[in-house]
């Protein structure tokens, strides 16, 4: 009996008792609750998808394309955000020239364009930024071209697609879009290079089995694209696999020709490690000066990102815990991901394919184009979207509170069982090399307590290596580090890890952000963790400290095994460091607010 009829005064039937009706409603609510708990919303536990393509000019690595795609919301609509970072290095009139291009786009599920941010910079001094968005049928463009600002508001009567339409094609194919031979791929988009709307189309040709040095044989379908604008001299062959994912790309632009091959993150690290890849992580995160850093026992930070959940990039540890703003601990999204998905690749790339071995002759050499190339002094311009987490305008669902405690080595630890992988050898450590084993025995008493051994080895590495503060993605074997007698944070961490393992102390390198008091900012950094008792304790061989203040924010670690290579230490830094916003929430002792009287020196003795 409906509620409306009851309100009219009609008596309910005897068989439709209110008690039984409430029981049915309660059962229905229980079933709905169980369904929601057992089937979490995919957008909340969505895993970051990424893809690497390495660029080659004359079979020499000359750059890369790094793309990450993840779900987002725009005006209560489910959308995709695609972030792409490109680097290209080539010869022009006998000199090495480099270009950096960054895209951050939002598109609807069907590929329709919503907005994008674009940035271009080069070694010749060019610098261009653009922000383009569709709003109420108008195309709003805000551009900064070599210092000159332009604002344009145009009537948009056509449906535009994203400039990264091909990068997200596999997502639409997974949703049911046709992707068969003879299908016509076409899209219309605003080109920030030409400052105009471009139209491109191509027919998907029959697939052929192809193989490269970096992937097993796979069926690829080719499509040929050409710019429709007379001012843009650009032509490309794009090769897709059966899922719509780009596996290879041949590009002709003006007088430059290059090829792009899809590789795994590990292969990208092997091929690109050095000054070129360093540009993705060389970024400083400014923070209001932190006082009493030498006396801090505990500190809590507000950390956030504008478009993505920052909890994906930080981890919980023995001295670090993540919380939401409401106080709830962050659940590990990795455990909620389907075991059949492949982390680090775009979706639908089938797992289980044999990993291709990298050709040793094709490994990147800094002398490939020009010694040094002048790239170490290049400034990497990062995305300008920044905000202070915790404000009303910041998305709290993307932010966390990270509480970090001071870590000091225990006096008399009772060693607990630990995985043998943290004592094992690796190609980077080379524990059996005489030069490494001899240094491990240097001034070390075999009957010394573990805490004293750790302290002595930290001091030893700090003394024998001339330190370089800048972080580098270059991975050198420990014997080479010892012979050079100098190195950055990664070299210090690897050498200390090798010496500790030779003395039967479990150790591993860790990465994240460390506070630089002189610059008042956080910067990417590498340190070492040692296992004493039931906990992992951080130590820093660069500064020679075994008791670290709580200003080391951990993002990743590696056991240096084939399943956890050292290159994965740079993954969270590459994906997030130029988009983070950090502020201090609380500390022990608390941060004292400086007043004018604090700046005036006292006249009393």
Highest mean pLDDT among 115-119, 232-236, 346-350, 525-529: 525-529
Q: Is the pLDDT assigned to residue 388 strictly greater than 80?
A: no
Lowest mean pLDDT among 238-242, 290-294, 386-390: 386-390
56 within 8 A of 262, measured Cβ to Cβ: no
Residue 5, SS3 per DSSP:
helix
Among 371, 207, 377, which residue's Cα sits nearest to residue 278? 377
In whole angstroms, how far apart are CA 377 and each of 63, 364, 373, 380?
17, 19, 10, 9
Confidence of residue 2 (pLDDT cuts 50, 70, 90): very low
Confidence of residue 48 (pLDDT cuts 50, 70, 90): low
Confidence of residue 229 (pLDDT cuts 50, 70, 90): confident
Averaged over 43-62, what is the pLDDT?
74
Averaged over 578-583, what is the pLDDT?
85
Confidence of residue 339 (pLDDT cuts 50, 70, 90): very low
Q: Which pTM value belongs to this model? A: 0.70
Averaged over 54-71, what is the pLDDT?
89
End-to-end CA distance of the chain: give it in Å, rounded: 90
- Cα distance between residue 114 and residue 112, in whole Å: 7
Quick one: pLDDT at residue 21?
A: 53
78 within 8 A of 71, measured Cβ to Cβ: yes
For residue 291, count other CB atoms closer than 10 A to its CB: 17
- Residues belonging to the chain: 605
pLDDT digits (tens, 9 = 90+) for 123-149: 888 889 999 988 877 888 888 887 788
Quick one: pLDDT at residue 443?
A: 63
**Domains in the chain, please, with CATH?**
49-272 (no CATH), 403-588 (3.10.620.30)
- Cα distance between residue 218 and residue 240, in whole Å: 10
DSSP symbols for 553-571: EEEEE---STTS-GGGGGH
Averaged over 363-384, what is the pLDDT?
28
3-state secondary structure 15-55: CCCHHHHHHHHHHHHHHHHHHHHHCCCCCCCCCCEEEEEEE
- Cα distance between residue 278 and residue 222, in whole Å: 33
Quick one: pLDDT at residue 147?
A: 76
- Name the pairing type of β-strands 77-92 and 95-108: antiparallel
Q: Is the pLDDT assigned to residue 28 strictly greater than 60?
A: no
Confidence of residue 68 (pLDDT cuts 50, 70, 90): confident
Chain mean pLDDT for the chain: 77
Quick one: pLDDT at residue 364?
A: 30
Quick one: pLDDT at residue 512?
A: 94
């Amino acid at each position: 009996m409906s509620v409306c009829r009851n309100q009219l005064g009609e008596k309910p039937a005897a068989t439709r008792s209110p008690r039984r009706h409430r029981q049915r409603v309660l059962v229905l609510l229980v079933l709905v609750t169980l369904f929601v708990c057992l089937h979490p919303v995919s957008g909340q536990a969505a895993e970051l998808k990424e893809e690497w393509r390495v660029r080659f000019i004359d079979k020499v690595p000359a750059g890369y394309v790094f793309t990450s795609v993840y779900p987002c919301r725009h005006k209560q609509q489910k959308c995709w955000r695609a972030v792409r970072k490109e680097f290209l290095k080539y010869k022009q009139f006998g000199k090495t020239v480099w270009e950096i291009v960054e895209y951050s786009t939002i598109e609807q599920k069907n590929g329709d364009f919503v907005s994008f941010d674009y940035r271009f910079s080069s070694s010749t001094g060019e610098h261009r930024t653009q922000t383009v968005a569709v709003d109420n049928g108008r195309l709003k463009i805000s551009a900064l071209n070599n210092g000159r600002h332009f604002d344009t508001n145009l009537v948009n009567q056509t449906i535009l697609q994203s400039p990264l339409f091909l990068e997200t094609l596999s997502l639409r194919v997974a949703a049911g879009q046709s992707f068969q031979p003879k299908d016509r791929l076409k899209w219309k988009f605003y080109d920030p290079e030409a400052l105009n709307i471009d139209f491109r189309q191509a027919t998907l040709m029959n697939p052929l089995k192809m193989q490269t040095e970096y992937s097993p044989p796979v069926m690829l379908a080719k499509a040929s694209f050409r710019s429709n604008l007379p001012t843009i001299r650009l032509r490309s062959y794009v090769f897709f696999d059966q899922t719509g994912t780009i596996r290879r790309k041949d590009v002709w632009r003006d007088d430059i020709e290059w090829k792009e091959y899809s590789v795994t993150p590990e292969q990208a690290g092997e091929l690109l490690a050095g000054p070129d890849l360093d540009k993705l992580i060389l970024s400083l995160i400014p923070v209001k000066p932190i006082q009493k850093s030498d006396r801090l026992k505990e500190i809590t930070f507000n950390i956030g990102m504008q478009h993505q959940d920052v909890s994906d990039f930080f981890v919980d540890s023995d001295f670090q815990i993540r919380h939401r703003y409401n106080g709830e601990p962050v659940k590990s999204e990795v455990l909620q991901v389907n075991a059949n998905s492949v982390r680090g690749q775009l979706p639908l790339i089938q797992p289980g394919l044999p990993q291709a071995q990298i050709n040793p002759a094709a490994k990147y050499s800094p002398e490939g184009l020009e010694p040094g190339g002048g790239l170490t002094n290049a400034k990497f311009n990062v995305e300008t979207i920044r905000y202070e987490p915790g404000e009303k305008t910041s998305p709290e669902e993307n932010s966390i509170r990270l509480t970090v405690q001071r870590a000091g080595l225990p006096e008399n630890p009772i060693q607990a069982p630990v995985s043998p992988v943290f004592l094992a050898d690796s190609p980077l450590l080379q524990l059996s090399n005489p030069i490494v084993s001899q240094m491990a025995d240097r001034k070390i008493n075999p009957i010394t307590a573990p805490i004293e051994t750790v302290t002595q080895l930290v001091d030893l590495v700090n003394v024998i290596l001339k330190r370089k503060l800048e972080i580098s993605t270059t991975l050198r074997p420990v014997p080479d580090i010892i012979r050079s007698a100098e190195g950055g944070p990664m070299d210090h961490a690897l050498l200390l890890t090798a010496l500790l393992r030779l003395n039967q102390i479990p150790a591993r390198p860790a990465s994240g952000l460390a506070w630089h008091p002189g610059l008042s900012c956080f910067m990417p950094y590498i340190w070492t963790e040692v296992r004493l008792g039931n906990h992992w304790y951080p130590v820093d061989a660069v500064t020679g400290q075994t008791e670290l203040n709580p200003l080391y924010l951990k993002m990743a670690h590696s056991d240096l095994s084939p399943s956890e290579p050292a290159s994965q230490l740079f993954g969270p830094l590459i994906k997030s460091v130029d988009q983070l916003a950090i502020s201090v929430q609380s500390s022990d002792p608390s941060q004292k607010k400086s007043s004018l009287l604090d700046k005036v020196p006292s006249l009393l003795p």
